């Protein structure tokens, strides 16, 4: 049976470390790092994620400022808020919870955030910095996935990593980070031919595609490390159940190590958001 990569445990260690560094930051500067969290509308999952982010921020001593906007807010009203947060020296990190309601243009909003406060790492300047091998603020889910990989495997040099999915917030930055760690990287997606055979070549398999339990044991090389980024809500006999993109019960029989859902990558995302907030605050103090 595969080793379980425990995201709750690894993220708790990271949060303890962030809390210590936040205490040092406060001693040095006399203020707390601060994070502005913008939530538009009433998507139930987004409400849960935002609540968890604020709760964890408070736990490590980061000041959080919540901005809740109605679902029918206009693009220019949201832009005005982002602008105000950009100019406010008491705000070190800004995050706009995604997805936004359909009438809003996500790209324009992300582009409006000051790249130095972009703790999600989604701004084009942060994307470019990562692609050029000089990362500044890195997207939280891929950064957390890399921490789990290095804790499990140590040096990743020479390993063949296959990333399933090419989203801007997970697949692409994940591939860039794996490349930076000297992996040989293959990206597969909906138009790839024979995905299964390519996945079977992977020493490291990262599933970030949003398809419940897509990856079966037959896709996995014996002993491979499997990172499951998927968070899919399914109904089993009328009961809400969270499953990943990996068929855990099947794949754990062949993998060397595997992340569960829940309790894997998810908690790492939030811990990395707070680490990014601290990093952004440090950079702004010396500007």
Ligand X SMILES: Nc1nc2c(c(=O)[nH]1)N[C@@H](CN(C=O)c1ccc(C(=O)N[C@@H](CCC(=O)O)C(=O)O)cc1)CN2
Among 115, 135, 171, 266, the residue binding ligand X under the rule CB under 6 A is 266
Among 181, 225, 259, 269, the residue binding ligand X under the rule CB under 6 A is 269
Q: What are phi and psi of 119, to 5 degrees?
A: -70, -10
- Mark residues 66-105: x for contact with ligand X by CB under 6 A, - for none: -----------------------------xxxx-------
Residue nearest ligand X, Cβ-based: 266
- Tokens for 219, please give them: 């896709």
Q: Is residue 97 annotated as a catalytic residue, yes or no?
A: yes
Query: How many residues belong to the site for ligand X (CB under 6 A)?
Result: 18
Among 141, 225, 259, 275, the residue binding ligand X under the rule CB under 6 A is 141
Q: How far is the CB of 27 from ligand X (least distance, A)?
A: 30
Q: Is 270 in the site for ligand X (CB under 6 A)?
A: yes
**Is 195 labelled as part of a ligand binding site?**
no
Query: What SS3 string covers 92-125?
Result: CEEEECCCCCCCCCHHHHHHHCCHHHECCCCCHH
Among 242, 250, 256, 284, the residue binding ligand X under the rule CB under 6 A is 242
Q: Which stretch binds ligand X (CB under 6 A): 79-87, 129-137, 143-151, 264-272?
A: 264-272
Catalytic residue among 114, 117, 118, 120: 120
Q: Is residue 159 annotated as a catalytic residue, yes or no?
A: no
Q: Is 125 in the site for ligand X (CB under 6 A)?
A: no
Q: Is 120 in the site for ligand X (CB under 6 A)?
A: yes
Q: How far is the CB of 134 from ligand X (least distance, A)?
A: 22
Q: Among 7, 107, 22, which Cα is nearest to 279's?
A: 22
Q: Is 130 in the site for ligand X (CB under 6 A)?
A: no
- Residues 6+ positions from 54 with CB-CB distance below 8 Å: 37, 64, 66
Q: How far is the CB of 5 from ligand X (least distance, A)?
A: 12
Q: How far is the CB of 268 from ligand X (least distance, A)?
A: 8
Among 41, 101, 210, 262, the residue binding ligand X under the rule CB under 6 A is 262
Q: Is residue 253 annotated as a catalytic residue, yes or no?
A: no
Residues that bind ligand X (CB under 6 A): 48-49, 95-98, 120, 140-141, 231, 242, 261-263, 266-267, 269-270
Residues with a catalytic annotation lie at: 53, 97, 120
């Amino acid at each position: 049976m595969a080793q379980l990569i425990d995201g709750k445990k690894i993220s708790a260690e990271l949060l303890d470390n962030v809390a210590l560094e936040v205490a040092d930051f406060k001693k040095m500067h006399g203020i707390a790092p601060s994070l502005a969290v913008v939530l538009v509308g009433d998507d139930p999952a987004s409400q849960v994620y935002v609540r968890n982010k604020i709760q964890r921020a408070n736990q490590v001593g980061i000041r959080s400022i919540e901005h809740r906007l109605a679902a029918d807010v206009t693009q220019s009203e949201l832009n005005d808020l982002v602008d105000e947060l950009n100019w406010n020296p008491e705000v070190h990190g800004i995050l706009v919870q995604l997805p936004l309601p359909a009438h809003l243009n996500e790209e324009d909003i992300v582009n409006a955030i000051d790249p130095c406060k972009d703790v999600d790492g989604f701004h084009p300047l942060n994307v470019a910095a990562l692609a050029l091998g000089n990362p500044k603020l890195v997207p939280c889910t891929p950064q957390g996935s890399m921490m789990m990989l290095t804790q499990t495997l140590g040096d990743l040099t020479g390993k063949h990593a296959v990333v399933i999915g090419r989203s801007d917030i997970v697949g692409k930055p994940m591939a860039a980070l794996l490349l930076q760690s000297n992996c040989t990287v293959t990206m597969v997606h909906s138009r790839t031919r024979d995905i299964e055979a390519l996945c079977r070549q992977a020493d490291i398999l990262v599933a970030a595609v949003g398809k419940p339990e897509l990856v079966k044991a037959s896709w996995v090389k014996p002993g491979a490390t499997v990172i499951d980024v998927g968070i899919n809500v399914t109904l089993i006999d009328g009961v809400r159940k969270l499953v990943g993109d990996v068929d855990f019960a099947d794949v754990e029989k062949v993998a060397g190590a595997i992340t569960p859902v829940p309790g894997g990558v998810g908690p790492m995302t939030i811990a990395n958001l707070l680490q990014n907030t601290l990093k952004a605050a440090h950079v702004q103090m010396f500007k």
